[in-house]
Amino acid sequence: MTTTNKSALAFAGVAVVLFAAAHCAPSAPKERAHRGGGATSDVAIAAQKTYIAPGDLDEYYLFSSGGHSGQMYVFGVPSMRHLVTIPVFTPYPATGYGFDDDTRAMLAGHSWDDVHHPALSETAGDYDGRWLFANGISGRIGRIDLRDFKTKEIYGPAPNVSGNHASAFVTPNSEYVMMASRFSAPLGDAAIPVSEYATKYKGIIAGVKIDPKSGHMSLGWEIQTPPFDWDLGDAGKKASDGWMFFTCYNSERATGKLEVTASQRDRDYIAAVDWRLAEKAIGEGKGAEINGAKVLDPAKVPGVMYLLPCGKSPHGVDVSPDGKYIVGNGKLQGVTTVFNFEKIQTAIRNKDFTGDEDGIPILKYESVKDAEVPVGLGPLHTQFGPDGYAYTSLFVDSAIAKWKLGTWEVVDKVPMSYSIGHLCAAEGDTVSPDGKYLIGLNKLSHGRHLSVGPSQPESSQLVDISGEKMKLLYDAFTEPEPHYAQMIKADKLHPIEVYPKEENHHPLAVWDVKDAGLTRNGDRVIVKTVVVRSTITPTQFEVKLGDTVTIAITNIEQTTDELHGFGMPGYNFNLVIDPGETKTVTFKADKPGVFYYYCTNFCSALHQEMQGYMIVKPK
């Protein structure tokens, strides 16, 4: 081991301890009363800035990942009121998601996933309010349509991508949504032992193509990489449009206790991927077929991928609004590293390399780096304001640092309670961030809320960034487990409130109770059903044991908020049908008896009366 490596390891040891120590952040004071004294005016100002009077609307939507809940949470900002939960990868009885035939088919037997990074679709680098993408660690990406806030498609699992964490970041015109392997694995199905990790395991970086009209996702290209742990990504924009950037840890290609073994090197990497070149190479047939995907070997496609050395086990990588700077947040150090895109291009032209990893050139650090900004300990993620300021979350210091692009001066810090992970600025990933609000998505919340037992909620803190000094405005709490979030101006979204009748082309829809009823074809039974205040028609029907039954339910209401449910506990399903919508549920009538069904959504004064019976007759 060289001296550098030894001192690196020593530093890593300290950093690891610090990183862990942050989990013992001090408990907040327990009193429930208002803070008094000199704080009063600050509190009053904060209250005024976050108070949305009854009936008034928030200025922004916040789409926050639900982590291993497999869901997405929607908040209004600045009130921080939770508006709705959008299930993506997880069944959610509250909206009937995962129970009707269509969404059940979409989930394909999976019952959870880990959502970390929501990504709003973009046009010319600005959020366009069309779709919201969400990564699933299992190698899937969900697409939510912002016209109705519903998950419409789940792509994947993508072949070869193992542990899709560096996802779902989109390119400036929503050409691609990214994927990458966090847990490298052998390509193909070979059960190669972990002892051969360094040579036989591979990572994958992938671009999933988005159809510009429909939003439909399909695999664009894959690039195989050394078995690093790809962690986060961001798309180049403006100056750096056409490139994608991914951070990795474990460039040591280590296994076992990564906490130690993967913290040895002073620097890991940020990969710079020329996605237009990848697209072209795949078009020219340069990919090898692996598990049904075309996979590029970067050693054979010169120019498709470069590595920028970045200290030290970097986590987030974030591209500035003008696309000129690529910020790498090295979580085990006290600085954040800023790379200059122009310098990267020059270094590539001059072949200013210091070596390679499996044929992928490594750019010389000194040639591509612009600054090491002393933001504080444990930088994880960076967001941007409209005025050249950047905001970096500091996990270990439990704070946000504000600093200036270009002068690299750290101008302000605000403490977070506690141990901030991601942070989210208003329109913060676009070419034109709004500033105004910043939300710290914290990992710990202990003591700042009424106790709810050992399963503590997560805390999100709203910060005012409109002035020179950042000001904490509000604590909000949520279920596990927000990682990243994106905030979009509310007036960019125009969701519908009913599904227009004329758009309902469902073959089993019925709009008149006269047309409701049962049809049989052998042992296939279809029950066309109408729900409207305050009857489910038919109110009873009879099938035979062993029949395959499809209940097709149309909510013929065209009035906002008039949802109806259709729950049948005896057969373990609950559907919720929005106004104008038709949903089906198909099951085998494999239990004889009498089974009640009823409306699960309180819809009217006679909601309780909205009920009926299915009789399953023994043969």
Which residues make up the interface to ligand CUA (CB under 6 A)? 564, 599, 601-603, 607, 610
Closest CB to ligand K7E among residues 311, 361: 311
Q: Which residues pair with 231 in a beta bridge?
A: none
- Cβ atoms of residues 512 and 537 within 8 Å: no
Decide which of ligand K7E, ligand CUA, none touches 182; Cβ closer than 5 to 8 Å per partner kind: none
- Cβ atoms of residues 86 and 150 within 8 Å: yes
For the record, the structure tokens of 586 come out as 């198909």
Q: Please report the DSSP string for 477-520 in residue order.
A: EESS----EEEEEGGG----SS--GGG---TT---SGGG-EEEE
Least distance between ligand K7E and beta carbon 556 (Å): 43
Q: Which residues pair with 540 in a beta bridge?
A: 613
Least distance between ligand CUA and beta carbon 599 (Å): 3
User: Ramachandran region of residue 38, left (φ > 0), alpha (ψ -120 to 50) or beta?
Assistant: alpha
User: Pairing relation of β-strands 217-225 and 293-296?
Assistant: parallel
Of residues 454-513, those binding ligand K7E (CB under 6 A): 483-484
Closest CB to ligand CUA among residues 180, 610: 610
Decide which of ligand K7E, ligand CUA, none touches 484; Cβ closer than 5 to 8 Å per partner kind: ligand K7E
Decide which of ligand K7E, ligand CUA, none touches 439; Cβ closer than 5 to 8 Å per partner kind: none
CA dist., res. 274 & res. 210, Å (int): 17
Of residues 144-183, those binding ligand K7E (CB under 6 A): 165
Closest CB to ligand CUA among residues 80, 576: 576
Decide which of ligand CUA, ligand K7E, none touches 165; Cβ closer than 5 to 8 Å per partner kind: ligand K7E
Closest CB to ligand K7E among residues 441, 551: 441
For the record, the structure tokens of 471 come out as 């000001």
Site for ligand K7E contains 331 (CB under 6 A): no
Decide which of ligand K7E, ligand CUA, none touches 596; Cβ closer than 5 to 8 Å per partner kind: none
Of residues 197-256, those binding ligand K7E (CB under 6 A): 232
Q: SS3 of 187, please?
A: coil
CA dist., res. 593 & res. 613, Å (int): 10
CA dist., res. 456 & res. 419, Å (int): 14
Considering only residues 98, 116, 132, 575, which one is a binding residue for ligand K7E as defined by CB under 6 A? Answer: 116
In the chain, the N- to C-terminal Cα span, in Å, equals 77
CA dist., res. 503 & res. 602, Å (int): 26
Decide which of ligand K7E, ligand CUA, none touches 601; Cβ closer than 5 to 8 Å per partner kind: ligand CUA
Closest CB to ligand K7E among residues 235, 516: 235
Decide which of ligand CUA, ligand K7E, none touches 117; Cβ closer than 5 to 8 Å per partner kind: ligand K7E
How many CB atoms sit inside 10 A of residue 76's CB? 18
Least distance between ligand K7E and beta carbon 184 (Å): 17
Decide which of ligand CUA, ligand K7E, none touches 363; Cβ closer than 5 to 8 Å per partner kind: none
Site for ligand K7E contains 315 (CB under 6 A): yes
CA dist., res. 148 & res. 371, Å (int): 44
Kindly list the residues in this chain that would bind ligand K7E in the complex (CB under 6 A): 116-117, 165, 232, 315-316, 380-381, 421-422, 483-484
